[in-house]
Amino acid sequence: MHDAYFVFSILRALDAVDDLKSEVPLLGRPRALDYEPAEQAELADEGRSVEEVAQLLVRQLEGMPIWGHPRTQINVVPPPSIPSVIGSLLPAIYNPNLVSDDTSFGLMLTEAAVAAMTSRLIGYDPEQAAGVFTFGGTGTVLYGAKLGIEKAFPDAMDTGVPAGGALLASGQSHYCRLNVAGWLGLGEENVVQVPTHLTNDIRIDLLERSCRDLLDQGRRIVALVATMGTTDAFGIDDLDAIADLRDRLVEDYDLDHTPHIHADAVIGWAWSVFNDYDFEDNQLGFRPRTVRALASARRRFSKLHRADSVGIDFHKTGFAPYVSSLLLVRNRADMQLLVRGREQMPYLFQSGERHPGVYTLETSRGGSGVLAAYANLRLFGRTGLRVLLGHLVEMAEALREHLEGHDSTTVLNDAGVGTVTVFRVYPDGVDTWTIKDRERTNPAARDELLRHNEYNRRLYRYLYDRAMRGEGVHISMTDNYRLTDYGEPTVGLKSFILSPFIDEKDVERLVRDILDAREAIREQA
């Protein structure tokens, strides 16, 4: 009886959500967010029925983008698969806590299985590797940096982080590098941000110079963070070269510790499914331009196994619901650096066999992310992920080709090999063959750059307002794709394609929307 009532309640809620759907890429009607009434909310004396509460819950979704809609092309949010939603729901019903297998039972086996499958995928030895799910991509970087701190300063867990440590990452890496350094006590000022090539991958020559400068000063390198797919432009660092550099530094300086390398692959990990794909045979029939992009990406992603730890987000390119993030370590012995004494937790771990709670930051770790990831790895397999990613890259390549074919648009990440396209739009009379390089390199073009930055902000606002009315394609904007040579930020519009339902008509729709927006803001001016 209770199960029947539960299922009935869920179905009623889903029916109510269905009533919010239409042909537009939003649930229900767009609404302005008014925080004042929310901040005045009070707990009522009397409760409400399950049915009433369910309706209240559904209303909270009104205005949400529908991530699977082909006209939703916002920053790195995929539509979750049906099995991954089920995988998120089941632990919510039975409430496991992965602090120990005593409170999670089979889900601890599932976490181990996901870690093993993903380890094999990226080239780790699953018998030596280990993995734990954590609270997001930032959490994976935090774990990687913490391992680096413990290697550089072996007493840090007990006595704190001494002065003199440094973390190095590219200037295009995720801003969480600063959060992590601040929260771990390393300090944001001790994060060295290394410039990148125009392809948004770290400059190895400047990384080496920065490392040697630090070591010459007697400082200790806590971690080198390799970004394997930047958020804005899918820049992929040369992890092979970073690992070679690290090994050279250890030998040249006779270091008493080996600096930790963490690969921030929360977006790019999934491209590992192409590590053993035969691009010459190309059984899946990808177009030549797509094959070139995928093969180019493989050159870098095939080296993920050289990192000491890797961050993986299944809630990005794994098509799972938020949050589903996995930290992998190549050598499971590294996790011993984080272990706390059992005497500190006398009320835990009285039974069971495996207790990640002795080394994880979290005590409470739910099972939804674990089971969602497991669901999709079983659902898609290598071939399914190849088909998905290949299609998305193919559509992104089609968009770049369209944008390159118009005299008012230019692609900023024209060497991009992922599903994200960053571009700029220009008013009439601008030579888009030369403007990109001139704005980037020539200080005399500063006023032009700033004027066109504002132009792109206006165009984005027009597109956004239309999207919020359900009338157009919903894209993103970045206030700083990258700095010019003279230190000014470059504004870019951004399409992040993650809907498997997108086709070339949807790509053409976005291009039309952009061109229509140009006309509209010209008339407004």
pLDDT in tens, 289-317: 999 999 999 999 999 999 999 999 999 99
pLDDT for res 2: 65
Residue (of 106, 149, 161, 196) closest to 309 by Cα position? 149
pLDDT for res 351: 76
Q: Is there a domain that residue 211 lies in?
A: yes
Query: What are residue 226's phi and psi, to 5 degrees?
Result: -95, 125
Q: Is there a domain that residue 403 lies in?
A: no
Q: What one-character DSSP code corresponds to residue 371?
A: H
Q: Do 58 and 94 lie in a common domain?
A: no
Residue 171's CB: how many other CB atoms inside 10 A?
A: 18
Q: Do 327 and 295 lie in a common domain?
A: yes
Q: Is there a domain that residue 428 lies in?
A: no
pLDDT for res 3: 87
Q: pTM for the whole thing?
A: 0.96
3 state DSSP class of 57: helix
**Half-sphere exposure of residue 133: CA atoms within 13 angstroms, side-chain side:** 31
The parent domain of residue 59 ranges over: 2-64
* Polymer length in residues for the chain: 525
Q: Do 173 and 304 lie in a common domain?
A: yes
Query: d(Cα 322, Cα 317) in Å, to the nearest integer?
Result: 12
Q: Do 277 and 222 lie in a common domain?
A: yes
Q: What tokens appear for 292 in the block? A: 């070139």
Q: What one-character DSSP code corresponds to residue 444?
A: G
3 state DSSP class of 477: strand
Computed from CA positions of residues 120, 124, 126, 129, in that sequence, does the dihedral angle turn out positive or negative? negative
pLDDT for res 345: 74
Query: d(Cα 154, Cα 507) in Å, to the nearest integer?
Result: 53
Query: How far apart are the two ends of the chain, measured CA to CA in Å?
Result: 65
Residue (of 462, 347, 374) closest to 99 by Cα position? 347
H-helix or E-strand containing 194?
strand 191-194
Q: Is there a domain that residue 229 lies in?
A: yes
- Looking at the structure of the chain, the number of domains it has is 2
pLDDT for res 29: 86
Query: d(Cα 322, Cα 375) in Å, to the nearest integer?
Result: 14
| Residue type at position 361 | L
Q: Which residues contact 223 (CB under 8 A, 6 or more apart)?
A: 144, 145, 147, 148, 149, 167, 168, 259, 260, 261, 262
Q: Do 173 and 305 lie in a common domain?
A: yes
Spans in the chain with pLDDT lower than 50: 1
